Amino acid sequence: MTDKNRKLRLGAFLLSIGHHIGAWRHPDVEPRDVFRLEHFKSLARLAERAKFDVIFFADNVGLPDVPPELLAKGPQVYNFDPLILQSILSQETQRIGLVATVSTTYLPPYHLARKFATLDHFSNGRAAWNLVTSATRFEAQNFGLGEQLAHADRYDRAREYVQVVRALWDSWEDDAFLFDKQGNRFFDPAKLHTPAHRAKHFSVRGPLQTGRPPQGYPVLVQAGSSEDGQALAAETAEVVFTAQQTFAEAKAFYDGLKSRLAQFGRDPSQLLVLPGVQPIIGRTEEEAKEKFALLQSLVDPEIGVGLLSTFLNFDLSAFPIDGPLPDLPFTEGWQSRRQLFVDLARRKNLSIRELYLEIAGGRGHRTILGTPQSIADQLEEWFVGGAADGFNILAPTLPKGLEDFSEFVIPDLQRRGLFRTEYEGRTLRENLGLARPVNQFAAS
């Protein structure tokens, strides 16, 4: 694809009732929507009408280990299993991609391979797996562990995990099934392969029960931006969801990650970098600022400190809220996001209160304010300047934030020739311009 024809990619990050931690208290938001399936169906249909590439669901596998009184001050955003939810939404949509987050640390690879193959079949080739390794102690304690695995170990395990699931997805060749009644052959046995994987972390015989996914493999998405995360992404990922605050940081990450692909024989066009962006949209710049101020006023200080403590893997509740961020000890938890927060606090000389307000909406992702035109200008700058292939849109409130972006910003991007007016294909790979992988066991 030439630069002239290059189109930016957009994901709709559907975080319950809004990405801002004060969203549930906003007058535009119905808090009961966190449990309403129709709410998520409506969001999926809205995103598809706007021609988003994907709807994206994050996940973790536990409640934070904090007093119930603190938990009660904000709804949990990961109420439902994203794979089950995306399976339902696959029947409400026809073209949009379906990204579900599943950890390599707590689900055996055979289960994951089968579940995503099923979703890819049921959606006619629109499934995508967002690979995470899980970074919190409260998740580890739900699976018989006292602490999360060491960061490097989690990523070493994840690398082998991807090898296993790819081999399982290749168990059947694309034309293995014959359905030959007269010849009494349901499939060609020469085109069924047993991976028989045995290595450091996993022993998995296979083959997979499910036929090869329509896309070959569901699209592989990854969200880690640490050194270990980038190494894994360069080898395996096709979409990277990342967080940077400035153009210079985003450009450096983009160029650095793409430069790693050559060592794996990969073309840079086959990995798409999508920074997260929280847009606050107003008819005027002043209205956008007022909208943002209202959201910020809804942040409970205890919730703000709690959110920051979770990401930093360090309890800040004993420190003065208007004092500086203390020096932090080493952690096996999140690496890149933690460093982003520390750098942000030091660069802007922020107190703990000021820092949690900086991240209350985007959780480390960039927040942009303005009119639809100025929002489109800012997205275009990063896209044309080579700092992004597109963006994961973090609506501050749902459904209103997604409605505003779809109604006002996307038409502006389309008028500029930066975003599609119709889907290019039927599968997610076709719409993203990603190659369909060759079966590793098929005869040349």
Q: Is residue 35 part of a domain?
A: yes
Domain end residue (candidates: 359, 376, 399): 359
Q: 55 and 161 share a domain?
A: yes
C-alpha–C-alpha distance, residues 410 and 390, integer Å: 12
Q: Distance from CA of residue 422 to its chain's centroid?
A: 23
What six digits make up the tokens of 323? Answer: 């004092």
Q: Is residue 183 part of a domain?
A: yes
User: If we measure between CA atoms, which residue out of 15, 383, 377, 331 comes closest to residue 148?
Assistant: 331
List, in order, residues 6 or more apart from 222 with CB less than 8 Å away. Answer: 130, 131, 132, 229, 232, 233, 236, 237, 239, 240, 241
Domain end residue (candidates: 316, 336, 359): 359
List, in order, residues 6 or more apart from 114 with CB less than 8 Å away. Answer: 168, 208, 209, 210
List, in order, residues 6 or more apart from 436 with CB less than 8 Å away. Answer: 215, 216, 429
Domain end residue (candidates: 334, 359, 384): 359
Structurally, the chain folds into a number of domains equal to 2
- Whole domain around residue 326: which residue ranges? 300-359
Count CA atoms closer than 13 A to 333's CA, side-chain side: 19
Q: Note the pTM of the prediction, 2 decimals.
A: 0.93
CB burial of residue 118 (10 Å; 0-12, 13-18, 19+)? middle
C-alpha–C-alpha distance, residues 69 and 209, integer Å: 46
Annotate 197-242 with DSSP letters as a single string. Answer: EESSS-EE----SSPPPTTSSPEEEE---SHHHHHHHHHH-SEEEE
Q: pLDDT tens, position by position, for the chain (444 residues)? A: 346 689 999 999 999 999 999 999 999 999 999 999 999 999 999 999 999 999 999 999 999 888 888 888 888 889 999 999 999 999 999 999 999 999 999 999 999 999 999 999 999 999 999 999 998 889 999 999 989 899 899 999 999 999 999 999 999 999 999 999 999 999 999 999 999 999 999 999 999 999 999 999 999 999 878 888 899 999 999 999 999 989 999 999 999 999 999 999 999 999 999 999 999 999 999 999 999 999 999 988 888 888 888 878 788 888 989 988 888 877 766 677 788 788 888 888 889 988 888 877 777 789 999 999 999 999 999 999 999 999 999 999 999 999 999 999 999 999 999 999 999 999 999 999 999 999 999 975
Q: 213 and 90 share a domain?
A: yes
Q: 338 and 213 share a domain?
A: no
Q: 256 and 345 share a domain?
A: no
Q: 351 and 228 share a domain?
A: no
C-alpha–C-alpha distance, residues 389 and 254, integer Å: 9
CA distances from 122 to 11, 89, 139 (A): 21, 10, 30
